[in-house]
Every structure is written in structure tokens, then in C-alpha cells.
Amino acid sequence: MHVLLTGAAGGVGTLLRELLPPHGHTLRLADLRPVEGGLTFDLRDTDAVREAVRGVDAVVHLGGISLEDSFANILGANIQGTYELYEAARLEGVKRIVFASSNHAVGYTPLTGELIGSDTPARPDTYYGLSKVFGEGLASLYADKHGIETVSIRIGSCFAKPRSPRMLSTWLSPTDCARLVHAALTAPDVGHTVVNGISANTRAWWDLSTARALGYHPQDDAEIYAAELGELDPDSPDATLLGGFFTTL
Ligand code: NAI
């Protein structure tokens, strides 16, 4: 597939630039920051976004602010920016989007020991998480009204290696991320589907059945890093709430 990758200069974008082509995809890269061989654009710029999506088969939408920020900044990059992307897709006839949602859309979900499904209700922990709830809602609207299908991936923590004891539960390895994005691009008849995005972690908090139903078969487990990361402090929000310390911001 010919795929537009927004946020291509970012952490996950840099990983997927290498890891998606082996799954058979050709990438068009775009970011606010310059990225080699790619477009420099602002997601808030209607015309630039429309030009970026023109002619592709699908979009992997990673672009935007990826941490907590002022409401004004989140409103521009994440809320307006995601709207501009979906409108451009509608006008250009692009029928599949993979949306990088987040655990922070459901960050106030308590950790009870039961696996949490991808159908757990929205409980954003920040304006950032709220923008991911908006993105999931927008994806639902455009699926029902305009037939633009989306898989919203609630990403846990996608880094080369887990960086904290919490990430022993939330890690999505780069190669599993590429597997999940590939499944989300190619599974038939997804309408709007929300999936949890983690590796096959021994300490997983999330149920992966919806992702597996799309054809995702995770291969990695954060547990191999357990000895170097230590244990969670049982009294910290990292141990009691899905969104961890974001609930304290
Ligand atoms: P990042 O912050 O490294 O990359 C985001 C990219 O979006 C940056 O390169 C930035 O320049 C670009 N961007 C920001 N505003 C823009 C605008 N107005 N127009 C065009 N581009 C803009 O974030 P990362 O870690 O790569 O995450 C990628 C996506 O996945 C984000 O949407 C993030 O919210 C989501 N996510 C990531 C997680 C992780 O563990 N890395 C966890 C959960 C969700």
C-alpha cells in the first residue's frame, strides 16, 4: 500500500520508517519538522494536509503533540489537526486511516488485576488524552457517515526498550508496533475499531483480543528487561491507574 505517515520525524515515526516497508508498504513521510525525503507541513493547514493525502491508499496518523500541553496547543495540533486530516481524506477519497490513540484516553481506568478490554469507556487523564478521545470519536463519525475506516490503536508505550517498571506492562516493541499497524492497514471491514496496542507482555494490563482479531500476533515481551527495571512502587499512580503519572499532571 502507498501510505502517508504523519509525525514521521517523531519517535514512533522514525521507527516505523524502517519497519513498515518490509511489510510491503511504500511511505510518504510528513511532519512539522523537516524529515529526509518527506514533506514539511502543519496539520492545521487545510491545503497542505489535502496535498499530503492526495493519491495515497491509507494514512498512519502519528502527528501531533504526544505529551500534556496547554489546551490551546492540543486544540490546534491534535483536535483541529486530526479534523483536517479526516476532511482531507474524505475529499481525496482515502478510505483507511490508522489513528495513534493512547492509553491516556482511558488513563483514569483503575488497575484492578482484571485485564482491561479495548471497549473500556473513555476516561482521559489530560487534555492530551482528551484529544485522543476526540480522535476516536471523529474516526467513528467518518466511518459511519463517510465510509472512511479507521483502526484506533491505544498505544501503551512504544520505545526501543521499556524505560520504567510501568512499561513492563505497557510496552509495545517497535517490531510489534509495525505488525499491529500492518494488521490495522490491511484487515478487511474494520469500520471503526479500537484496539489496545502492547506486546505480549507477561505483566500486561490490557486484553489484546480485538487486536488479535485483526491478525496481530505480537512476538515480544517486556519481561526480558524486568531485572534491569526494578519493581513498581505499589502506592504510586503508576501502579493504580492505567495512565500512571499523567493523572498527576
Ligand atoms: P513524537 O512527539 O516523537 O512525534 C510526533 C510528531 O508529530 C513530531 O515529530 C512532531 O513534529 C509532529 N507534529 C506535532 N505537531 C504537528 C503539527 N501541527 N503538524 C504536523 N506534525 C506535527 O511522538 P511519538 O512518541 O512518536 O508518538 C507518535 C504518536 O503516537 C502520537 O500521536 C502519540 O500521541 C501517539 N502515542 C505514542 C506513544 C508512545 O509510547 N510513543 C504512546 C501513546 C500514543
Where are the domains positioned within the chain?
2-248
Distance 110 CA to ligand 1 centre (A): 25
Of the candidates 88, 178, 82, the one whose C-alpha atom is nearest the C-alpha of residue 128 is 82
Is the pTM here over 0.80, yes or no? yes
> How far, in Å, are 43, 119, 155, 236 from residue 211 at the CA level?
28, 12, 11, 29
Q: How many angstroms is it from 58 CA to the middle of ligand 1?
A: 18
Task: Verify whether ligand 1 is closer than 6 Å to residue 135 (CB atom).
Answer: no
d(CA 201, CA 75): 33
What's the CATH superfamily of 2-248? Answer: NAD(P)-binding Rossmann-like Domain (3.40.50.720)
Distance CA 59, CA 194 (A): 16
State which residues of the chain have pLDDT below 50. none
Ligand 1 centre from 34 Cα, in Å?
A: 14
Nearest to 154 by CA among 177, 182, 187: 177
pLDDT at 181: 99
Q: Which amino acid is at 126?
A: T
Q: What is the pLDDT of residues 22-60, one digit of tens each?
A: 999 999 999 999 999 999 999 999 999 999 999 999 999
Task: Say if ligand 1 is within 6 A of residue 131 CB.
Answer: no
